[in-house]
Amino acid sequence: MTRTLPARVDVAIVGSGPCGAAYARVLSEQCPDATIAVFEVGPLLADPPGTHVKNIVDPDERARAQRRSEGPAPLPAGTPTDTNEGYATEAPRLVRPGTFLLASGYRQPGQDGLPGAAMSSNVGGMGAHWTGACPRPGGRERIGFLPELDDLLAEGERLLSVDAHAFDDAPFAGEVRKRLSGALDDERAEDRRVAPMPLAVVRHDDGRVTWSGSDVVFGEPTRANPRFTLVPEALVTEVVVADGRARGVRVRDLQDGGEHVVAARFVVVAADALRTPQLLWASGVRPRALGRWLNDQPQTVYAVRLRDVDTGPEADVDPREQPRIVAQSGVSWVPYTDEDPFHGQVMQLDASPVPLADADEPEPGTIVGLGWFCAKDLQESDRVEFSDTETDPYGMPAMRIHYRLTEADSASIAAARDAVRRAAAALGEPLDDRDPLTFPPGASLHYQGTVRMGETDDGTSVCSPTSRVWDVAGLYVAGNGVIPTPIACNPTLTAVALAVGGARDIAAALTPEEN
């Protein structure tokens, strides 16, 4: 059956991850008369739209939802479609369930490249697969020219339902924090001390805790908004621009191949840090900074067995096979500071990618993984470039990544390896004699800078402090690509906060001034 797409809306949003959803939510709350449509290239996985796949309890259904998020390239013949088998887990190209790797162009000869560059295509985007860590940025991670940053972050926390105390009673979490704090907190400001990780989770009345996806960001105000439409399996191939103004979007309906132009007063491109600049490029919007200043957070992981802990009955649930969040899912946070410029997260092993030593039989909860993230030494030459002749499997301009780790990056990675060892030594003993493992670039899944925000239009940014693309009226960009600073912490909260600022800007333009 052919479906009908809206012919005209006030706001067209491209991409249904947490950032696109944040625009829909804020506009639904602030402009109830505005018509809003979200176009998403991937399929609808579950109800409500944008549900985190880990909230799907049935393992086969969950595996199917993950597979359906993995983009347009066909899976190799014989790959099982309803299990988690068949995923590559070995370096150098690590792929997580629910994501797919950039198939080609991820490394140029003689460069480091981004072999881990990955995306998700589904309603909810990567936000249907993420781990929900939502720390606030600190020190040089913060965007100095945004005086309202804390207000925006607080609103982002509301939309994502961030809770720093969901797992205060996790076994050993208090002990983990006490030991880390003893080793690391001496010189730190109060708000930068070891703490529980703020997590995007929802506590239900019956005591269950579930992961927040875009469903939570959309929330009831969006779902109940009769002027809101979500269109899955709809590829936006172009932002229509005329006379210096965004006029709408060109959409390919992947269900029937139909091509449509949807007129819009405002267009928001929230299509992840690689595909947002791709769509602008395809639309002829090519400011100098587009795709440049690309950065990813070099990530080093390690694992220890906690020293001297009493494994009583509180530890009797093994969290690793649990899709649901259980008490053992406690995560601790070692915040970034300019003096100790790493973002540290310490978690029970269910959430950690650290491989166990062979034949190690852990007591549930007693083995913790440590992940230390570095901030990249930003370079204009690190960039995603787009082809005018070649296309990707969606038919969009093919990407080519230019990416190098500088000497400063190598020094920072070496310092992170030392720092993670120090933190680990405070907790317990390494599982074996392996060194900390530094993942190849791209594995953090936190790509930033490609449509970066700037205070002025000086050629080093794509958009204004309210995410408006310089020189194209009515066009906004969203997602981690907007973040201009080299942040080491998980970026989604910051990106959602910046989306809130952009959505308020559109809301102000849509709201008639009262006399």
Stretch of residues binding ligand FAD (CB under 6 A), selected from 188-196, 265-273, 301-309, 402-410: 265-273
Q: How many residues of this chain interact with ligand FAD, rule: CB under 6 A?
A: 39
Separation of alpha carbons 295 and 283, rounded Å: 23
Position 127 contacts ligand FAD (CB under 6 A): yes
Over 279-322, what HEC string results? HHHHCCCCCCCCCCCCECCCEEEEEEEECCCCCCHHHCCCHHHC
Which residue in the set 37, 126, 176, 194 belongs to the binding site for ligand FAD (CB under 6 A)? 126
Give the number of other Cβ atoms within 10 Å of residue 458's Cβ: 10
> Smallest Cα–Cα separation from 330: which of 194, 510, 227, 158?
194
Which residue in the set 55, 379, 480, 485 belongs to the binding site for ligand FAD (CB under 6 A)? 480
Which residue in the set 35, 51, 55, 99 belongs to the binding site for ligand FAD (CB under 6 A)? 99
Closest contact distance (angstroms) between CB of 129 and ligand FAD is 4
Q: Spell out a b/e string for 218-227, using b for 16 or more CB atoms within 10 Å of the CB, else e.
A: bbebbbebeb
Residues 159, 500 contacting (CB under 8 angstroms): yes
In the complex with ligand FAD, the residue whose CB is nearer, 72 or 92, is 72
Stretch of residues binding ligand FAD (CB under 6 A), selected from 10-18, 365-373, 398-406, 456-464: 10-18
Separation of alpha carbons 447 and 293, rounded Å: 10
In the complex with ligand FAD, the residue whose CB is nearer, 24 or 41, is 41
Q: Cα dihedral angle (233, 237, 240, 246), rounded to 10 degrees?
A: 70
Which residue in the set 9, 17, 399, 453 belongs to the binding site for ligand FAD (CB under 6 A)? 17
In the complex with ligand FAD, the residue whose CB is nearer, 125 or 442, is 125
Spatial CB neighbours of 340, under 8 Å, sequence gap ≥ 6: 184, 188, 419
Closest contact distance (angstroms) between CB of 313 and ligand FAD is 30
In the complex with ligand FAD, the residue whose CB is nearer, 253 or 363, is 253
Q: Which residues inside 333-362 make contact with ligand FAD, applying CB under 6 A?
A: none
Give one DSSP letter per residue of 224-243, joined into a string: T-TTEEEE-SEEEEEEEEET
In the complex with ligand FAD, the residue whose CB is nearer, 344 or 428, is 344
Position 495 contacts ligand FAD (CB under 6 A): yes
Closest contact distance (angstroms) between CB of 141 and ligand FAD is 13
Which residue in the set 12, 230, 279, 487 belongs to the binding site for ligand FAD (CB under 6 A)? 279
Closest contact distance (angstroms) between CB of 398 and ligand FAD is 14
In the complex with ligand FAD, the residue whose CB is nearer, 127 or 298, is 127
Over 45-113, what HEC string results? CCCCCCCCHHHCCCHHHHHHHHHHCCCCCCCCCCCCCCCCCCCCCCCCCCCCCCCEECCCCCCCCCCCC
Separation of alpha carbons 233 and 44, rounded Å: 8
- Decide if 165 is catalytic: no
Position 445 contacts ligand FAD (CB under 6 A): yes
Position 14 contacts ligand FAD (CB under 6 A): yes
Stretch of residues binding ligand FAD (CB under 6 A), selected from 28-36, 120-128, 140-148, 501-509: 120-128
Give the number of other Cβ atoms within 10 Å of residue 31's Cβ: 21
Helices 214-223 + 18-30 axis angle, to 10:
20
> Smallest Cα–Cα separation from 300: which of 447, 193, 421?
421
Position 156 contacts ligand FAD (CB under 6 A): no
Position 18 contacts ligand FAD (CB under 6 A): yes
CA angle 278, 476, 144 (to 5 degrees): 105
In what helix (H) or strand (E) does residue 495 lie, and over which residues does it extend? helix 492-510
Stretch of residues binding ligand FAD (CB under 6 A), selected from 142-150, 317-325, 380-388, 485-493: 485-493
Closest contact distance (angstroms) between CB of 278 and ligand FAD is 7
Position 132 contacts ligand FAD (CB under 6 A): yes
Stretch of residues binding ligand FAD (CB under 6 A), selected from 82-90, 124-132, 295-303, 410-418: 124-132
Position 121 contacts ligand FAD (CB under 6 A): yes
Position 492 contacts ligand FAD (CB under 6 A): yes
Please, what sign has the CA dihedral across residues 75, 78, 82, 85?
negative
In the complex with ligand FAD, the residue whose CB is nearer, 37 or 315, is 37
Q: Which residues face 385 on adjacent strands?
A: 400
Q: Which residues inside 35-94 make contact with ligand FAD, applying CB under 6 A?
A: 39-42
Q: Which of 52, 129, 402, 446 is catalytic?
A: 446
Separation of alpha carbons 228 and 37, rounded Å: 6
Structural tokens at position 439: 């993942």
Residues 122, 43 contacting (CB under 8 angstroms): yes
Which residue in the set 46, 162, 235, 453 belongs to the binding site for ligand FAD (CB under 6 A)? 235
Q: Which residues face 300 on adjacent strands?
A: 372, 438
Give the number of other Cβ atoms within 10 Å of residue 372's Cβ: 29
Position 20 contacts ligand FAD (CB under 6 A): yes
Which residue in the set 11, 65, 133, 267 belongs to the binding site for ligand FAD (CB under 6 A)? 133
The residue ranges that bind ligand FAD (CB under 6 A) are: 14-20, 39-42, 96, 98-99, 120-122, 125-127, 129-133, 235-236, 270-272, 275, 279, 445, 479-480, 490-492, 495
Task: List residues with catalytic annotation.
Answer: 446
